[in-house]
Structures are given as structure tokens and as C-alpha cells.
Amino acid sequence: MIRPLALAAALLPTLAQAQTDPADWDAVLEAARGQTVYWNAWGGSTTTNDFIAWVGARVAEDHGVILEHVKLTDTADAVTRVLSERQAGQDSGGAIDLIWINGANFAAMKQADLLFGPFAEDLPNWVHVADGPAVRTDFTVPTEGYESPWALAQVVFMYDSADMAPQPSMAAIADWAAQNPGRFTYPQPPDFLGLTFLKQALVELTPDPALLAQAPTDASYEVATAPLWDYLEDLTPNLWRQGRAYPATGPAQLQLIADQEIDLAISFSPGEASAAIANGQLPDTVRTFVLAGGTIGNASFVAIPYNASAPEGAMVVANFLLSPEAQLRAQDPAVLGYGTVLDMTKLPEDDAAGFAALDLGIATLPPEALGTPLPEPHPEWMTRIAEDWASRYGTAQ
Amino acid sequence: MIRAVPPLTLLLLLGPVAAGLWGVIRPAFGVLPAAGFAAPSLDPFRALADWPGLGAAVRLSVGVGLLATALSLALVTLICAGWWGTRAFRLLQRLLSPLLSVPHAAAAFGLAFLIAPSGWIARALSPWATGWDRPPDALIVNDPWGLALTAGLVIKEVPFLLLMVLAALPQVRAGERLRLTQVLGYGRMTGWLKAVFPAVYAQIRLPVYVVLAYSMSVVDVAVILGPSTPPPLSVQIVRWIGEPALETRLVAAAGAVLQLALVIGALVAWRLGEVVVARLGCAWAERGGRGRHENPLRRVSLVLGAGSAGAVLAGLAVLTVWSVAGFWGFPAAWPQGVGPANWARHGPGAGSAFGQTALVAGIATALALVLVLGCLQAEARTGRRPGASAMWLLYLPLLVPQTAFLPGLQTFLLGLGADRGVASVILAHLVFVLPYVFLSLADPWRAWDSRQATIAATLGAGPGAVFWRIRLPMLLAPVLTAAAVGLAVSVGQYLPTLLIGGGRVATLTTEAVALASGGDRRAIGVYALAQSAAALLPFALALALPALVWRNRRGLHG
């Protein structure tokens, strides 16, 4: 009895390590069948959680892949996890198969060689992707096929049209807040949306935006961020609760708007407000606006850790996320309202017609009104701003 | 074989605590070989001292812990002094089990939904009484002084301490003491405080310490009700653990050691406070005042006690309303629409989390029951009862703050390649479930009239038959109650599930607290209710089953 067990135990690690070549898609599908994929994705938004559950049902149906959503409060948890596994010598059979990732977390994992790949451009559905800087760079870091895009995001501001008018700039928002104290706030950094608010302010206020494309030096950081800190000095006393408390995340702002606690909130998803109105989380008077000088945009990606237990299953999920079916569902404001990464001209006519027919929802701006998204600053800006913000406002009481 | 059970129990109880503390102390002094830190240094403590929020976080941790413990103890003492033996007290007593079993996180959510500026209380009074058509910009929940957090802890610790006092009262012959004071002309409260309280306090000292250690280091309640700029030390430790840079793990370990030192310091300070209060109390008792004007204080204690219980129950009610609410704007007192949509949406997720919760709680409680029964059986066979030091060992896992040893246990298990499974989570839960199961079962088990065993033995029954056919069936009610306590403890565990499970074991508690950050009250309502149900259901069964099984044995209804 003992011997076959010991043999199996000896074989298991080698079996787990035998990763299939992403280019050989049939072999990938073969290996993926029956695999369980642990997708570590931020779990703070119930609409996203529902979408991931739907993806799980669809890949189980089509490919026999079982998808488990590991709900994170912070994507950095997943990075830590992979890092600790490598420190503990666990180079295969890791706990995480797929991560919803971008920005600093991707930069950290790529730099530390913690990622499986390149695989993204071998996915069969890559042919429909709107190829360009939006999907080939992530916060200025080249993706090089180590992560696969699945949604586009762009900053918009959600406002209650019953209480206020759209504002054209960050400066105008500060003026409005001064006249209406306590009616605006942003998620507490290091929440990514809170940091995005700081970056949006930085992009508009900094004297030389070109500096933001490279990693900051001490000198450039000083010069570039000084106007941002001045701006926050003025704004903070006029924030909700005078800046002594902040909502924990983006979705927590929805509850605050519904409770009439605030009138204005930042969002990284042009369709979020429409989706939230549809499921009763926001009043139907909420609309969105973008700033005259443009707003920051980026893509959401999925990446596979180097020691994933089920890289094939993870690739199947990544590929499904790029399918017209999944992209159409993600863009539907009744579901998620995320921007698609697909190029309509590369799609079969039927699929493109589906996108064209989509009702984007009452509070969603049409694509032409959103304007061209501004690029994200280099990830190190965000890291340093997060630290500075924490010592100035996050621990000050 | 039965003699091996007590040592095995101690190993399962203290082994994880010891391994965890070792796994925290080493990295706190810069040694984490797995991450390439080999040389001992004080750098982690320096980095900790450099964190600008440290002073405030420490003040919060200590202040909230001491205040919540003192308030809970004072309230319980005043209620007992003023109302023990009355009809109002019996009503409160009947509410005790449900109040106890509502998990901390669910009670905290309920309280937050009640007292927030946009909460149910403000809605009920707006706009007709307050004139608010928008909630006031007042910092009530997440206030920087931790008052909401303290309130959230008090409403949960009052039922716990009350249960402990009720268990202690017969042991100190409270009724006789009280009658004596009344014969001498003392007022009800004064007599209770002077003659009964000192004896009762000696019995509940350890549970009070548990409340103090818990209140200082709680994470889930602090995430929901506590401040965030900065958070209490325990929450910051968990955040550091979550950061990608490995150096912050060392800082987290240093923070955990500091947390442990703070708890030890607070316990010592509390002990000194006991001495001072005892001196003052003696002088007060010797002055011989019979007590006048007790009635106002009596009434205040009843109002506060009822308020504390009412906050938990009203919190559950508002969670229920949110779980079926459609759009519900301020200042409407009721949602615009009510329907099953939220349950349809979150029900499947909550259902699978319920399954995980039941699996972990069920196995951990079953293990704890087997071990505790084994220990009590060994005690009956050898005739040796655990002494005071053994009681300290039993309480140790409850006194050492979870944030101080669970991170170390996580590293330890990761080193063994054994973490993140359901099995590891069950063993971690066992550490917390076991003491409670032991505490709730030991007294009724020992109180069993052993002459029944003697009679059975004269009729030819061996020790095994006495256990299986007489003692266990006769003690069905207390065994089931102990099981219900164990299940409720396991259901409420947040940090052990989160850290040891590595995110893969999703129980109702971890899911509900993860949802806290998203602020979606409908989803939180569904999860917190499911969580409360998971803890309450066993208590209902523990009451119903003995009555059903022994419907023709009135004396065994428990």
C-alpha cells in the first residue's frame, strides 16, 4: 500500500512543473480540463465578484476549468504570497494561479521574475485585441506578454446632479468643496482609487508632466509634487469629516452618495455609476463628468505567477476574458460597465453589432466624450506619493 | 490511553502559541532566514519607531482596551448589583445566549448601521425631529478616539462577562451573602457591591483579563468601527503583513512583539488597579454605610444594560432590513422597495461560505469535545483536578493577543509547507475553541452525582459503560451547550482564518469583513445575518435536542 503512494508523491512535483507551451493551444486546453484555478482578485466590489462568478460558470461549461475567486482586500497580498512561497522554496504548486493586477504590483512581480510567460500574445483571442500602448504598457512598464489585458479603465467623477453641476478641473473641484464643505472625499490611500485621485491631481497641477513618465529622482519628485501637497492642504479641511476619516474603497463611496453624505466621488470605471443605479446602490440622479484637461486611463490585466499550480487553466480563463462574449458582458452597465480592450474593426460583424447595440446606461458618457485617456505616471511616483500621503494625512488624526 | 489525553490537549493548545511567538520574536529582531535576513538587529524596532502613527496607534490600543474592559465590567457589576433575582434580570438572562452567539463582526456592523450619521437612528428621527435632509457631517463611526470601537466591544463583552458572573454566583453562595447584608440593613446595591462582588471578582478575574487582552488587539471590529488615520496597532500589524516588501514583515513582527508587551503591561496595570480598588473598597466597606439613593443608579444601570442588549438586537434588525432593501436613500426610514434580490445575488456565495464555516467549526468543535471529555474522564479516573496554574495554561491562548502569535504561526506553517489548507485552519481554530468548550463543560461535568457511577458499577458496568451509557447521556444538555459555544467561537474567528488559510479558506466572517471595505450594506447584511445564523442555530439545537430526546425524562432537560 505504501509504495504506490510514495511513488505518486515523488511524481507529483514533476507533474506540476510540466508546463504546457502557450503556443500549443490544444495541449493547453487538454491540460486545463479538470484544473482548479485560484484567481486572486480584489473582492471589494460585489458587481465584479458576480462577474467573476459568471466567468467561472462559463469556463467550467466550455473547458471543464473550475474557477475559485480568492477575494483580496489588497492585490499586494497576492504579491506577498508568491514572494513568501519563493522564499520558502515552493517553486511549483503555489497557492495562486491567476491575479488581477496592474501598475506597481505588476512592476514588482515582473522585476522579481515572479511571473509565468510570456503567454498573452499566444492566446487565441489576442487577434481581436486593440493593439497599442494601452495594452502593451502598464503604468509605463512594458508588459511583454507577461500579463493579458481584460478591461480598460478611465477616471470619471460621479456627481449627484440634484446637488451640483459638473466641474471642469481639479482646481474647480477644490473651489466647489470650499463652498460646500463636507460633501466630497476620496478613498483612503493606499487604496488604488485614492492614489488615482492623487495622481489625477498631480497630472493636472504639476509644472512639467513629462517628468512623470520616468521614475522620480529626489529633485524631480520635490518639484513635481509641491503643487499637489499645496492643493491637498487647501482641500483637506473641506473634505467629508474634515479629512479625519476616509472611505476604505471606491465602492464605499457609492454608499456615501446614496446616504446623502457626499455629492461627488471619483471612479475608475465610466460605467460604474450606471451599473450602481441599475442595482439600487445609487440614486438615479447621479451622472458622470470628465475634466477638460483629460483624465488618467489604464488597463486591467491578469497575470500568472511562475509557480502556479494550474497555469494552463489560468491561460484558459485569461483567453475567455478576451472573448467577445465576456467583453460584451463586462461592458454592459447592468453587469460591470468596464471598457472593452477589443478592436471593433477586428471583430466578426455579429459581435461588433452586439457592442454597438449596447445601451451604455443613463450615467455613462459616450466614448467620444471621454476623450483620450492620459497616461499613468511611472509606478514609483505612486509608491512615493502613497508614503508621503500616509505620513501627512494617514497618521495625523 | 486516556491518561495521554491531557498532555496531548496541552500540546495542541500551547504548541501553536509557542511556535507562533517564536516565529514572531525572531523576525522582530531581524532574523528571517527564509527571506534572506540572517543577522540579528534592532532595525525592525527602529523602523517601527519611525512609523509616524505609532504613538496614536498605541494610545488607541491601550485606551480602547482599558476603557472597554472597565465599562463592560462596571455595567455587568451594576446590573447584577441592582437587579439580580428580579424579573427584569431574568429577561436579560434569557437574551444572553443569542447575544453571546452573535459574532463580534455582525454586532459591529449592526451598531455601525445604527449610529452612523446616516444610520437608522438618524433616519428614524429625520427630517421631522432633526430637520436633516442630509446626514450631519459628524465623525461618529471610525472616530479617532475609538469611542465607536469601544461601544462595539462593550455590547459584546457585557453578555460574556454576565455569563461568567452567573456561573460564579452559586460558587460564592451569593444568595446567602446578600441575605446577610439585607438583615444588617444594607441597600440592595450596596450590599451586593460590598459582600458579593469581591468574591465574584476573584472567580471572574481570568475572563476579565481575556476581555482586556481581546479588546486591545481585536482586528475585525476595529476594521469596521475603529479609526483609520491611523488605525489601532493590531490593524496596522495586519496591514504590514499584507505588504509586498519583505522588510515590512519584520516591522510587522516588531509591532506584534510591541502588542504583546502592551497587553502584558496593561494586564499588570489592571492587576495593580485591582489592589488599589480593593484598598479603597475595604475602607468603603468598613465605614459601614448602608447605602442611600440607590434608585437612580439602579435605573441607569438597567437603561444601559437594556441599551447594550438592544443595540445588538436592533443591529440585527437593521442588517435584516438592509439585506432585503432596494434603493434606500437618506432620510427614508424604510427602503423604497423590499425584495429577495440581494439574497438571490449574494445567497450562493454566502451559501458556500456557510459550508466552509460549518466544516471548520464542526470539525474543530468535535475535536475539542473529544479532547475535553477525555481530559475530564482522565480527571475522574485519577481523581486529580487541574490546579490554578493549569487554569492559566487553559486561558493562555485567550490572553496572548492573536496579532502577536498568528503571524508567527503562519510563517512556521509555511516553513513546514503545511499552511493555507482547511486542516491548518481547523487546528488554529481549535486553539481558541478548546478553552471555551472546556470552561463551559467542566463545571456541569464535575457536578454530576458520582453515586450514579457507583450504583452502575455495583450492577457490573465497567468505566466505559458508565461513561457511554450513563454519564454522557445524562449530561447531553451541557455537552450540546458546550458544542454550541465551541461552534459560535469558531464561526466568529477572523484572524486565524485569514492568516492561516492564506485566503483560500473563505468563511462567513472573512467574507463579511472583506465586504466591509466595499461598504455595500446589502451584501454585508446578507453575510452578517448568515454569520449570526451559523452561530445561533447550534444554540437553538442545544436547547431543543435534549428536550426532544429526553421528552419522557423531565429531570434531564438541563
pLDDT for A10 equals 38
**Chain B residue with minimum CA distance to A106:** B244
pLDDT of residue B441: 92
The DSSP letter of residue B37 is B
Cα–Cα–Cα angle for B190, B193, B199, nearest 5°? 145
Cβ neighbour number for residue B379 with a 10 Å cutoff? 18
Cell of A303: 497575470
- Residue span of the structural domain in which A285 resides: 156-295+373-394
Contacts of A103 in chain B (CB under 8 A): none
Number of domains in chain A: 2
Angle between helices B402-416 and B197-217 (to 10 degrees): 50
Domain boundaries in chain B?
A: 1-31+340-558, 51-104+144-298
Q: Which of A297, A294, A287, A296 minimizes the C-alpha distance to A166?
A: A287
Q: What is the ipTM of this complex?
A: 0.83
Q: Which helix (H) or strand (E) holds B378?
A: helix B341-382
* Residue among B377, B393, B383, B364 nearest B445 (CA): B377
Task: Flag whether A245 is in a domain.
Answer: yes
The reply to whether A224 falls in a domain is yes
Statement to judge: residues A288 and A320 lie in one domain:
no
Architecture in CATH of B51-104+144-298: Orthogonal Bundle (1.10)
Closest CA of chain A from B99, distance in Å: 28
CATH number at residue A160: 3.40.190.10
**Which of B517, B522, B527 is the best substitution to test chain A (most A C-beta atoms within 10 A)?**
B517
Q: Do A83 and B117 touch (CB under 8 A)?
A: no
Q: Which of B241, B329, B511 sits opposite A283 (nearest CB)?
A: B329
A-interface mutation test, from B520, B521, B527, most A Cβ less than 10 A away: B520
- On whether both A340 and A381 belong to a single domain, the answer is no
Does residue A232 belong to any structural domain of this protein?
yes
Q: Chain B partners of A246 at a C-beta cutoff of 8 Å?
A: 228-229
CB-based contact B230:B142 (threshold 8 Å): no
Tens of pLDDT, residue by residue over A68-107, are: 998 887 788 788 788 878 877 888 888 899 999 988 889 8
**Upstream peptide bond of A247 is cis (omega within 30 degrees of 0):** no
Cβ contacts of residue A1 below 8 Å, gap of 6+? none
Which of B117, B230, B504 is opposite residue A70, by nearest beta carbon?
B504
- End-to-end Cα spacing for chain A: 64
Same domain membership, residue A316 and residue A253: no
Whether residues A125 and A273 fall in one domain? no
Kindly state whether residues A221 and A117 are assigned to the same domain: no
Rg (C-alpha) for chain A, rounded Å, is 22
Whether residues B329 and A258 touch (CB distance < 8 A) is answered with: yes
Q: How many helices (H) and strands (E) does chain B have?
A: 26, 0
B327–A71 C-beta distance less than 8 A? no
Q: Is B76 on the interface with A (CB under 8 A)?
A: no
Are the beta carbons of A327 and A130 closer than 8 angstroms?
no
Which residue ranges of chain A lie beneath pLDDT 70?
Answer: 1-19, 396-397
Decide if A266 is inside a domain. yes
Per the domain annotation, does A11 fall within a domain?
no
Q: Is A203 in the same domain as A270?
A: yes
Q: What percent of chain A is modeled with pLDDT above 70?
A: 95
Same domain, A310 and A340: yes
Question: Which 3 state secondary structure label does DSSP give B318?
Answer: helix
Report the distance separating Cα B268 and Cα B383, nearest Å. 34
How, if at all, do strands A156-160 and A286-289 pair?
A: antiparallel
Residues of A in contact with B341 (CB under 8 A): 279-280
Mutate to test the interface with B, among A87, A236, A238 (most CBs of B within 10 A): A87
Interface of B with A in 394-423 (CB under 8 A): 414-415, 417, 420
Interface of B with A in 492-511 (CB under 8 A): 502-504, 506, 511
Same domain as A169, residue A71: no
d(CA B11, nearest CA chain A) in Å: 26
| Chain centre distance of CA A149 | 10
Mind listing the pLDDT tens digit for each residue in B311-342? 999 999 999 999 999 888 888 999 988 999 89
* Per-residue model confidence (pLDDT) at position A40: 93
Q: Which residue of B has its CA nearest to A97?
A: B504
Please check whether residues A131 and A248 belong to one and the same domain.
no
- Assign 3-state DSSP to chain B and report helix, strand, coil percentages, each to 5: 75, 0, 20
∠ Cα B148 B342 A57 (to 5°):
120
Residue A10 lies in a domain: no
Whether residue A9 lies within 8 A of chain B, CB to CB, comes out as no
The DSSP code for B132 is -
| CB neighbour burial string for B121-153, b if at least 16 within 10 angstroms, e if fewer | ebbeebeeeeebebbeeebbbbbbebbbbbbbb
C-alpha triplet B555, B91, B552: angle, nearest 5°: 20
A384 Cβ under 8 Å from any chain B Cβ = no
pTM, two decimals, is 0.86
Residues of B (436-465) whose Cβ lies below 8 Å from A: none
Of B135, B242, B420, the CB nearest to A259: B135
- Give the nearest chain A residue to B333 (CA atoms): A259
> In this structure, are A139 and A162 located in the same domain?
no
Domain assignment present for A306 = yes
Select from 3.40.50.10490, 1.10.3720.10, 2.60.40.2470, 3.40.50.12780 the CATH code of B1-31+340-558.
1.10.3720.10
Q: Residues 258 to 297 of A: which have CB under 8 A from any B CB? A: 258-261, 279-281, 283
Q: What does A115-135 look like in DSSP terms, one character per residue?
A: B--S-GGGSGGGGGB--SHHH
Q: Is A337 on the interface with B (CB under 8 A)?
A: no
Cα B41 vs. chain centroid, distance in angstroms? 36
Å from A130 to nearest chain B CA? 31
Asked if A280 lies within 8 A of B517 by C-beta distance, the reply is: no
Cβ contact A76–B325 (<8 Å): no
Instruction: Please report whether residue A9 resides in a domain.
Output: no
At residue B34, the pLDDT reads: 67
Q: Give yes or no: residues A91 and A75 share one domain.
A: yes
Domain match, A56 and A194 both: no
Taking 70 as the pLDDT cut, the residues of chain B under it are 34-35, 244, 417-420, 557-558
How far apart are the C-alpha atoms of B467 and A46, rounded to whole Å? 51
Q: DSSP states of B385-399 as a string?
A: PP-HHHHHHHHHHHH
Contacts of A108 in chain B (CB under 8 A): 244
The reply to whether B51-104+144-298 shares the fold of B1-31+340-558 is yes
* Contact between A261 and B348 using a beta-carbon 8 Å cutoff: no
Q: Do the chains contact at A245 and B329, CB–CB below 8 Å?
A: no
Q: Cell numbers of B211, please?
A: 476581555
pLDDT at B244: 65
Nearest residue in chain A measured CA to CA from B224:
A248
